[in-house]
């Protein structure tokens, strides 16, 4: 028996299984894809799938977790090399757009099918998303030299992430633009919106002004 090559076979099989699952879920949707469909596409018996996965829901979580982990890792690497608020925001946007364009089906799967995760898997995914959100919140907060309350920073951060995700899901990224141009335009758009937000009085400030006028 060749012990040098045997350990690599399960990895190849699982990678093929994951790639096929991403394709099928993208084509048919998670709910409309059965393990029999997956086995048929792979050309194996349905029972053989359980040598590589625990269940269909576990497979979905593995795919989503892998994508979220890739996004976090790429974002950390880019942020580590960036200095200054604009450069860090550019790095954050760049990580998302680069992953979206290189792993489009996987990113869309993460965004569209996370609602089908089990309660426990959803909790784990939410923790990873929270870490991702905190990275952007720190950048957004640094764009406000005069300071701004946390609730408004969180609201703005959520809107930015929502915008990036909606672009991915709707394929509404102008194909006439290069990846670099898309990243530059999004970065400037976010910075512009952040500067306007800083000029707007917060709810607390408005309330204090109103009470002082009485």
CATH number at 84 reads: 1.10.357.10
pTM for the structure as a whole: 0.83
In the structure encoding, which two tokens stand for residue 177, read together? 């633009």
Give me the pLDDT at residue 176, please: 73
Tokens 């792979």, residue located: 42
Name the helix (H) or strand (E) containing 212: helix 203-213
Those residues whose C-beta lies under 8 Å from the C-beta of residue 167, and which sit 6 or more positions away, are 100, 173
The answer to the question of residue 134 being in a domain is yes
Give me the pLDDT at residue 196, please: 81
70 and 145 part of one domain: yes
Which residue range forms the structural domain that includes residue 162?
A: 57-200
Provide mean pLDDT across the span 142-156. 80
Provide mean pLDDT across the span 140-153. 79
In this structure, of 37-51, 93-107, 146-160, 170-184, the range with the lowest mean pLDDT score is: 170-184
Give 74-140 as a DSSP string.
HHHHHHHT--SHHHHHHHHHHHHHHHHHHSHHHHHHHHHHGGGS-HHHHHHHHHHHHHHHHHHHHHH
Among the listed residues 18, 40, 19, 22, the one whose alpha carbon sits nearest the alpha carbon of residue 30: 22
Share of the chain above pLDDT 70, in %: 82
Residue 43's domain is classified under what CATH number?
1.10.10.60
Those residues whose C-beta lies under 8 Å from the C-beta of residue 155, and which sit 6 or more positions away, are none
Decide which of 53, 69, 90 is a domain's last residue: 53
Q: How far apart are CA 100 and CA 131, in angstroms?
A: 19
29 and 123 part of one domain: no
Provide mean pLDDT across the span 150-161. 92
61 and 154 part of one domain: yes
pLDDT band at 175 (very low <50, low <70, confident <90, very high): low
Give me the pLDDT at residue 212, please: 44
The answer to the question of residue 2 being in a domain is no
């Amino acid at each position: 028996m060749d012990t040098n090559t045997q350990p690599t076979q399960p990895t190849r099989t699982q990678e093929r299984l994951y790639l096929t699952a991403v394709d099928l879920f993208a084509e048919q949707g998670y709910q409309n894809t059965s393990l029999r469909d997956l086995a048929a596409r792979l050309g194996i018996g349905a029972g053989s799938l359980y040598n590589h996965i625990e269940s269909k829901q576990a497979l979905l979580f593995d795919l989503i977790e892998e994508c979220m982990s890739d996004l976090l890792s790429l974002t950390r690497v880019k942020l580590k090399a960036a200095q200054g608020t604009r450069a860090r925001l550019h790095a954050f946007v760049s990580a998302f757009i680069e992953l979206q364009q290189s792993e489009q089906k996987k990113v869309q799967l993460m965004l569209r099918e996370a609602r089908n995760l089990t309660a426990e898997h959803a909790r784990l995914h939410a923790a990873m998303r929270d870490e991702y959100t905190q990275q952007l919140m720190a950048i957004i907060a640094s764009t406000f030299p005069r300071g701004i309350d946390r609730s408004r920073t969180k609201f703005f951060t959520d809107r930015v992430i929502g915008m990036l995700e909606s672009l991915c899901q709707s394929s509404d990224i102008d194909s006439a633009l290069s990846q670099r141009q898309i990243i530059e335009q999004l970065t400037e758009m976010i910075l512009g919106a952040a500067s306007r937000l800083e000029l707007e009085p917060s709810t607390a400030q408005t309330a204090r002004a109103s009470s002082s006028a009485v």
